[in-house]
Amino acid sequence: MPSFSFNKTARTPFGKNQYLRSVRDIKTESYTMSAAAMITNYTVDGVATKILQPGTVIAKITSTAEAGKVGIFQAGALDGRQTAANIVGVVDTFLPWELNERDAEIAVVYEATVVQAWCIEHTATAGGIAPPVALTNATRDAILALPNLALLFK
């Protein structure tokens, strides 16, 4: 006989961010995302966790032991991720838990049509968590000035 029982241990739902205006003519490049440079950016069921959402601006790490990998573009970083010239694009890979444990391979979009308001960047941390915000005009302008990126913002 069918029945329903409420599971109190179920997790708070969260979903995958949509950032693309069109799925036509998307070009990506593979990078290694640094788990050590990843910031804690979400709280799920009262636990601070690292979740990489698609549409997040990604930049190269140029100093520290993580040099050669990439991380979230963030103004307060001190390892190269704070420099607009190091931006490599926006991430297409959704990683809901992997970066809590290890580095991961990701796909970064360098050519596509995206929606600015749906793209993500992170500002300074507040209480140990760096909340995501919509892509600012300043970061958008920095991306548009880079010769290696062909992101069209709608």
- Let me know: does 73 contact 58? Beta carbons within 8 Å: yes
- Let me know: does 111 contact 23? Beta carbons within 8 Å: no
Residue of 154, 153, 117 lying closest to 135 (CA atoms): 117
User: Does residue 63 fall inside a structural domain?
Assistant: yes
pLDDT, residue 48, reads 81
pLDDT, residue 22, reads 87
DSSP 80: S
Query: Total domain count for the chain?
Result: 1
pLDDT, residue 105, reads 97
User: Does residue 76 fall inside a structural domain?
Assistant: yes
pLDDT, residue 1, reads 55
Question: What's the whole-model pTM score?
Answer: 0.86
pLDDT, residue 125, reads 65
Token pair 């690292």 is found at 50
- Residue 18's alpha-carbon distances to 15, 22, 54, 121, 131, in angstroms, are 9, 11, 7, 14, 17
User: Does residue 39 fall inside a structural domain?
Assistant: yes
- Helix, strand or coil for residue 134? strand
| 39: its two tokens | 């910031």
- Separation CA 122–CA 131 (nearest Å): 6
User: Does residue 6 fall inside a structural domain?
Assistant: no
For 102, the domain range is 27-153
Mean pLDDT by 10 residues, the chain (154 residues): 58 82 92 89 80 94 94 88 95 92 96 95 70 91 96 93
User: Does residue 57 fall inside a structural domain?
Assistant: yes
Q: Is 68 exposed, middle or buried (0-12, 13-18, 19+ CB in 10 A)?
A: exposed
Q: Looking at this protein, which amino acid is placed at residue 102?
A: R
pLDDT, residue 78, reads 87
